[in-house]
Structure 1
Amino acid sequence: MDGLEKLKAIAAIRRLKARRVRCMDEKDWPGYAACHTPDAVSYTFQSQGWADKPITGARAIADSLKAILDGEIKKTTAHQIHEPEIDITSPTTARSIWPMEDMLWWEEDGVKKWRHGYGHYRQTYEKVGGEWLIKSRALTRIRVDDGAGDQVDVMTARGGSIAEALAKAR
């Protein structure tokens, strides 16, 4: 694989990851599943103290996430992915580490709740039928801030909006 082909592969993987995150935040579960190989493996929930065993299969991965984010208690999410480290390991395989940040908001028993997480996605990829897909993934979290009520503003650490904080400072 020459340099240009590697750059094309990296661009395709970056686009795939962006699509996966968009599909998750928009609750497009068929689109989300389509980002994975049929036999993909997810270790995402282990870092959150959930079941030990990985989830296998594109549809099973999408269904498990749907149950958490779009089930009985609906969660609004916003995922941000940052500059990745992507290694092309062969013409049909690759691996990556993506720094990430996510926000989740929901209401439970009449109480507003939120979560702000920071960590890394570690993924492997396989090129199938000319298309790069996610083969395995794991989320490791380095910090999680949970709260109830109005979300704490991470810019001011005082709560409320940045505009309110600026108005108080004047």
Structure 2
Amino acid sequence: MHEKLSLQDRIDRLEAIEEIKQLKARYCRYVDTKDWVGFASLFTEDLVIDFGESTSNPRTREEFVASAARHFEKNSSIHQVHVGEVQIIDDTHARAIWPMYDLVEKTSDDSEYISHTGWGHYTEEYRKVDGRWLCSRTQLTRLKRVALGN
């Protein structure tokens, strides 16, 4: 049987869920507006990245941000996430699954990026650090990816 949570515990969980939703919304906006400092601020220092499709295979937060900047700086992108399933594990740990859509179009002749659109899921873990929720693990799993004519 589940222990009944107090009103304050329920409010705290709802606040945590909302903070995590806001974090993921900023993720999409920072990538699309190419705000790499803001983007880096969303992740823990020990971020774990699992993007199987990545050609650069980043292993650290810094490599992940640099890779995103390299891929998107000379291209136009639209990243969207939809209603996420956010689970608060405890006061400092959470996880979520976000249905996602992206469109990336090559806008520069010197870009080697292949224009595409895709659908899938981000599966992520979060940790509260110094009072802020941050992403500590991110995985992208594609259901479908369609290369577009460049």
TM-score (norm 2): 0.86
Taking the aligned partners of 1:5 and 1:123, their CA distance within structure 2 comes to: 20
Q: 1:140: which partner in 2? A: 141
Work out the number of aligned pairs and report it. 140
Taking the aligned partners of 1:88 and 1:104, their CA distance within structure 2 comes to: 32
Q: 2:14: which partner in 1? A: 7
Taking the aligned partners of 2:103 and 2:55, their CA distance within structure 1 comes to: 19
Letter in 2 for 1:148: G
Letter in 2 for 1:36: F
Is the Cα–Cα contact under 8 Å of residues 41 and 54 in structure 1 kept in the other structure?
no
Taking the aligned partners of 1:54 and 1:66, their CA distance within structure 2 comes to: 12
Structural mapping, 1:58-97, within 5 Å: 58-70=61-73, 74-97=74-97
Taking the aligned partners of 1:49 and 1:21, their CA distance within structure 2 comes to: 17
SS at match of 1:83: coil
**Aligned CA-pair RMSD:** 1.9
- CA displacement at 1:145 relative to structure 2: 1.1
Letter in 1 for 2:59: I
Larger radius of gyration: 1
Q: 1:38: which partner in 2? A: 45
Pair 135,107 (structure 1): closer, same or farther in 2 beyond 3 Å = same
- CA displacement at 1:50 relative to structure 2: 3.4
**Regions of 4+ moved over 6 Å:** none
Taking the aligned partners of 2:67 and 2:115, their CA distance within structure 1 comes to: 20
Percent identity, aligned pairs only, is: 36
Is the counterpart of residue 55 in structure 1 residue 62 in structure 2?
A: no
Q: 2:119: which partner in 1? A: 118
- CA displacement at 1:147 relative to structure 2: 1.7
Structural mapping, 1:17-36, within 5 Å: 17-36=24-43
Taking the aligned partners of 2:34 and 2:108, their CA distance within structure 1 comes to: 19
SS at match of 2:34: coil
Pair 20,107 (structure 1): closer, same or farther in 2 beyond 3 Å = closer
Letter in 2 for 1:64: S
Taking the aligned partners of 1:114 and 1:54, their CA distance within structure 2 comes to: 21
Letter in 1 for 2:137: S
Q: Please, which runs of 5 or more residues in structure 2 have no aligned partner?
A: none
